[in-house]
Amino acid sequence: GNSVTQMEGPVTLSEEAFLTINCTYTATGYPSLFWYVQYPGEGLQLLLKATKADDKGSNKGFEATYRKETTSFHLEKGSVQVSDSAVYFCALSSGAGSYQLTFGKGTKLSVIP
């Protein structure tokens, strides 16, 4: 079955530091890949997505590239801000027509001034 493994947190960084949160997956076929973010007191919201190999999703300075050869979708940001403090979830769906998302356990990021 499908599964997502992401690096365990919590991760604490200083403002303007470089961020990487690793995510690898196991899936049959051609999954779509997502990063969702949950800010304190808010619901999960889509941060970025990629639907096929070598696609790069990007939003709010965050990027992730769909790497089929390494089954990975690592999240990166060049310079984090305090406002990026949140829990980040990597997720996949089995592709077009599929509606179930399989999530990783989440990585809590704290950015300190």
Partner 1 sequence: GAGVSQTPSNKVTEKGKYVELRCDPISGHTALYWYRQSLGQGPEFLIYFQGTGAADDSGLPNDRFFAVRPEGSVSTLKIQRTERGDSAVYLCASSLMSGGTGELFFGEGSRLTVL
Binding region for partner 1 (CB under 8 A): 4, 31-32, 36, 41-46, 49, 51, 89, 91, 93-106
Rounded to an integer, what is the distance from CA 46 to the centroid of its chain?
9
Distance of closest approach, residue 55 Cβ to partner 1, in angstroms: 11
Residue given tokens 């996949």 in the structure block: 92
Q: Which one, 15 or 52, has the nearer CB to partner 1?
A: 52
Token readout for 85 is 């403090």
Which of 27, 34, 17, 31 has its CA nearest to residue 73?
Answer: 34
Distance of closest approach, residue 43 Cβ to partner 1, in angstroms: 4
Distance of closest approach, residue 15 Cβ to partner 1, in angstroms: 27
